[in-house]
Structure 1
C-alpha cells in the first residue's frame, strides 16, 4: 500500500462477485474478526445484492464496505413500501477519519434515490454514527428474562383447543414462512422477506448457541391448521439445589390470541427450566398482559430500526394517518438537500398527499426526527419535548402527533 502524500485516494466502486471474499473479510475484521461458520458465510454470500453493494479499495486491499438489501417494509396503514436495507457497513481501522464512511453514505443515498425507494433503513451497531446522515431511531425492541418459578400465565378462552407439537425447524420452514407472511401487513416495521431470507430463521451455527441446544421448533395447530410457531433453544444449567435451565426464545408468531398463549404456556412449562429469555420482541408483545407479575420478568428495551426518508414527499404519501392531519413541515436535510424546505402533508386513515409548498410552516424539524416518527412508534410530541421538533402554529403538534401514531407498536422482526 502506498503511503506517501501523493498516493491516489482509495477508490469507491460497486462490488464484483470475484471480490466478495476480500470484501466480506474486511467487514468481519471491522466487527472484531471472529470467523463465521461455512453455513453462515455462504448464506450471506447468497443474499448479497452485488449491484447494490459498495467497496472502497486501496490498491488490491478492500478498506470499506457497504450494502443495501432490497426489502419491502410495512408502513402505517398496511402498505408495503420498497426500501433500501442498509447493511454490512464497515471501514478498516487503518483508514478511519478519512471520510470513507461519508463517501459511501453519500453514494448510497444517491443510489437509493435513483432506484426510486423512498426510505433507507438500518440497524446500528453504534447508534451515534448514523444520525448525522439523517437516520432516526423509529422502533424499539423488548427483551426480558422471566422467572417462570414465580410468574404464572392467565390464558384466554380457547387456549386448550390449540395443540402444540414438535417439528424439525427445517422440515416446517415453508409452513412457518407462510404464516409469517400473513402477519407482515398487520404491523409497521415488518419486512416482507424475499426468497432465501427464510433461511436466516433456521440458521443454527454451533458457535452461536452460547452453550444452548440446537434450534428447536413447535407448531401450534387448531382444527388441522397451523396457527402459530415458536423457535427456541434450551440451555441446561444445574446448581446444588437442582436444575436451573433457561429457555431462549428465538422467534414466535401466531395468528390468534389463543394460539399465542398456547405457545407461551408451552415455553413456560418446559421441564428442568426456571427462566424464559426473550429478545427482539415488539414493545407491546402480548405475553406482558398474560403474566401474573411483570416485575419478575425484568423487561428492558433497546433501539432497533433506524429510518431515513430519502424522498420526503413519496415517503409521507405512502402511509396513512390514524386521524386527519393537515400540516406544513419545514424540513432540514443538509445531507440530502432535495428534501429540505416546506412540505404540506394532508392525510387521514384512507390516504395522504404530500407536496412542496410556499405556505407558512406549522412544524420545524430535521429529516432525522421525521424518520424517527415515521412508523408511528415515536411521538412527535415527545421529540418536541426534547427540543427536536419546534411548533410554529399552535395546535399543529397535537394534530400531527395523533395522526402519525400507530395502533400497534412498529417492530423489526429480525436484523439484516
Structure 2
C-alpha cells in the first residue's frame, strides 16, 4: 500500500506568470498549507485547516513553522565542467574561454576526473535548492555519462548533452562532425528518456561549429522532437561581430541556428542579449526559450537583457556557472533585479520566484512534471528559511507583505536559506 505523507508549512506556487502584479490570480499562496505526497508525486495541496481533519492519524506530518515551502528551483543554463573555475578573474567572454574554460574542459578526457567533479556538481545543485537543471558537459562523452550517473543517485530530473565543437578551439577539444554525430547518437540511446533524464543536442555556440557540424545538429534534432537543443546566442558584441564574419549569408546570429532547424520547442538559448525585434519575434514563433543569466552577464560585462522584450516568449533563469559566480538561484534573482534596474525596468519578486520554478519548467517544456504543486506533479520542493541569518531575520520581521518577504529572500538569501530539499518526496539535503 502506498504511504501517504504530509508536509505542513507556508506554501507558495504559481499557475502562470504574475508579471509585476502582486495580486495576480496566478499566485497561489497558502499561509498555513498542507502538501500531500505519495509515490513521489503530489496528491493534493490546500489549506491545512481543511486537509488535516481528513488525514488518518497514521499519516506522518512534517511541520515547518515559520518556513516557506516552494517547488524546487530550475536552472536553465549551467556548465558542470566549469565548477572548478568559478570566480576566476576574467575579462570578456572570448578571452575568458581561452584563459580558463578550455583548459578546464580538457581535464574531462580523464573519466575519473569527470566522475569526481560530477558528484561535487550535483551536491552543489541540491545544496542551493536546484532540483532540475539544463547542463552543458564537455566535448567528451564520458563527461555526460559521469553526470547522469551522479544524478541517478539522487533521482534528479536532469537535461544534459556533450558539447559539439569542430573549430576555433584547442585541437584536443575539436570534435569532427561525423564523430560528434556518432557519439551524440550513442548518448541519446543510452540516456534520453531513461528515468528522469533527457538529452540535449549541444553545439557550444555558432563560432565553434562549422556549417557541417550545425547540419549534423539539425539531423540529430529531426530524429526525435522530444530531444532538447541547448546553446548560446548573442552574448557579447565581439561574439556578434565574429559570427557575422563566419556566416555572412545569415541575417543575424540567431538566424544561423534557424537555418539549420535548431529553433523549436525544447530549444533553449542562453543570454539573448543582443537580439533585434525580428529575432525576438522569431524566437517566440518557434517556441524556443531564453535562459536569462544575469550573474555571468554582469561578471563578464556582456550586456543587459531587455526583460520586457522577452515577455511574449518562454523565459527562465540560468546561473551559468562558471561565468556566473554562484550556484544559487536566489543570488541569480538578486543579480536579475540589478540588471533590470540598470536597463530601466524592474523584476518583481513574485515574478522572480515564478521564473525560478514554474517559469523554468515551462521554458524546458517540463511543466507537466515539475514546477508547481498541481496533483500528479513530481514532489520536488524546497523549504526556505526566512530567518536563516541574523540580517534576514530582522528584515523579514519587518516585511508587511508576501512580496516584501520574497524580495528580502532574493536579495539577502543564499544556500543558508535552503533549509531542506526534497526530490520525489524524499529529503536529499538538510541544514542541521
State TM-score, norm by structure 1.
0.26
Q: Which is richer in strand?
A: 1
Q: Which is richer in helix?
A: 2
State TM-score, norm by structure 2.
0.26
